[in-house]
Structure 1
Amino acid sequence: MNMKTLVVINPNSSETVTQGIEQALQPLQGVGVPIRCLTLAEGPPGIENQRQADLTVAPMLALADRQTDAAGFVIACFGDPGLHALRVQTALPVTGIQEASVMTALTLGHRFGVIAILPQSIPRHLRAFGAMGVSGRLAGDRALGLGVADLADPDRCLAAMIRTGKQLRDVDGAEVLIMGCAGMAQYRSVLQDETGLPVVEPTQAAVSMALGQIALGLTHRPEGAMND
């Protein structure tokens, strides 16, 4: 019998992003069930707009359906493509990194700020925050002007992240920062030191939440509950 695992799906096709996710999750390996990270081969190199996000949903659902040893799922894209569809497909715990990072940020400060990758990412963030009912707690959502592929380059990325984080703090009044892409994980500790604010890395937030739900037997569809 195979050991159950928490399956973290990167819906883009970048193995570099998946490797960054695996590195970010190292502190959580050994806490509850094992964690396995997968890359969606059919996804785009980076998810930077709503169309790209929507096109990943069907192949992501198919990939999740093939994971017969899963104890739960995490969708590792800020925007949570297919989150609610996957919750219909499976009764196992399912968390999305955007939703989980916001919920975590609300426990660390009253107003949260988001560091986005590109300006076109922001409208889908704002729609999600409106649907969650947390727009009143949003201090600001500012874009770096960098694509997903650029996030692996510290020379291009780190200074922009620190500058944007300080703008969210000083201009917008953010008390906690959320990294608005799964590819930013390696910069979390430096960003936290430079801004003096708590910084939420979204995959860490979502996996922490999923591990807790698995340990406690919590799910959106408890055994015996009526199906949709």
Structure 2
Amino acid sequence: MKIFWQSFIDETASRPYMERLSAYLNDIAAPGTSVHVAGISPPDRDFGRLAEMRCAVMAVDNGIGAEADGFDAYVMGHFQDPGLYELRSAVRIPVIGVGEATLFAAAQLGRRLGLVTLDPAFEVWHLEQADRYGLGDRVAHVAALSCRPEDFSDAFAGDEAARRRMLGDFTACAMPLVEAGADVIVPAGVLPGLLCGGEFGFKVGHAPVVNCAAVGLKSAEMWVQLHQLGGIEPSRGPSFALAPDRAKADFRALVAKGRAV
């Protein structure tokens, strides 16, 4: 099984994280499964709707290419899942959104979910995301670490003091959510998810912390197996009707050539 994992992080600027993520995913993958981690350059560096849309366009194009290159599944490894529905309508392979998969997994562990995101700019996005997935009444609280992707670099490069400091910052951010009623904590980003995933049985107070990196990968493996077993795929009615070849060609030409097309 070959899985394409799309990160919204620059492979050079955040190399320790990208290397750690690739090693972790391939280490926990089922026997016979390989995971290719790809970044985006420029990355999602100016947090907001326009940056999310630009990166989504590149991610969707990469997903169409991944199917053509023989990958069995594609993971949108960016918690906000921008472009998820568009890509799901463009390919036949399973398309997994880390945010979607993690929120549904977390909803099985408790009633009230608290999300810890990177930047305040994403707080409203996550609330909209929860509504889109039908979980708006379950996401009780969202709080931001107010940090940048590069802030995690030392922790992922092996600096134990930096790792402990980042875990402490995460716990301090999540604890008020638990005190306010959240009974599951979701790192709303693969960066903090990977950080917390290194702690076995990690909790904030009584609330389990969900490792979104592991959930994203294991969801991809599950959907590939279910697709192979019974041919199941997303509804091709109004929700995710397959785009015709011309629409995909027009989209890819726009990405490759811009307005010149």
Q: Per the shorter chain, which TM-score range? A: 0.7 to 0.9
Runs of 4+ in 1 over 4 A off after TM superposition: none
The answer to whether the aligner puts 1:130 opposite 2:131 as a matched pair is yes
Q: Aligned to 2:170, which of 141, 161, 169? A: 161
Structure 1 residue 126: Cα displacement:
1.0
The answer to whether the aligner puts 1:38 opposite 2:38 as a matched pair is yes
- For residues 27 and 174 of structure 1, the distance between their equivalents in structure 2, rounded to whole angstroms, comes to 31
- For residues 133 and 173 of structure 2, the distance between their equivalents in structure 1, rounded to whole angstroms, comes to 24
TM-score, length basis structure 2 = 0.76
Contact (CA 8 Å) 2:127, 2:139: kept in 1 or not? no
Contact (CA 8 Å) 2:26, 2:35: kept in 1 or not? no
TM-score, length basis structure 1 = 0.86
The answer to whether the aligner puts 1:186 opposite 2:186 as a matched pair is no
SS in 2 for 1:150: helix
Q: Aligned to 1:176, which of 168, 171, 184? A: 184
The residue aligned with 1:50 is 49
The residue aligned with 1:202 is 212
Contact (CA 8 Å) 2:117, 2:145: kept in 1 or not? yes
Unaligned runs of 5+ in 1: none
Structure 1 residue 30: Cα displacement:
2.6
- For residues 107 and 27 of structure 1, the distance between their equivalents in structure 2, rounded to whole angstroms, comes to 26
Structure 1 residue 72: Cα displacement:
0.6
State the AA in 2 paired with 1:121: F
Unaligned runs of 5+ in 2: 156-161, 244-261
SS in 2 for 1:56: helix
- For residues 159 and 190 of structure 1, the distance between their equivalents in structure 2, rounded to whole angstroms, comes to 15
SS in 1 for 2:72: strand
- For residues 241 and 80 of structure 2, the distance between their equivalents in structure 1, rounded to whole angstroms, comes to 28
- For residues 235 and 119 of structure 2, the distance between their equivalents in structure 1, rounded to whole angstroms, comes to 35
- Percentage of matched positions with identical amino acids: 19
Larger radius of gyration: 2
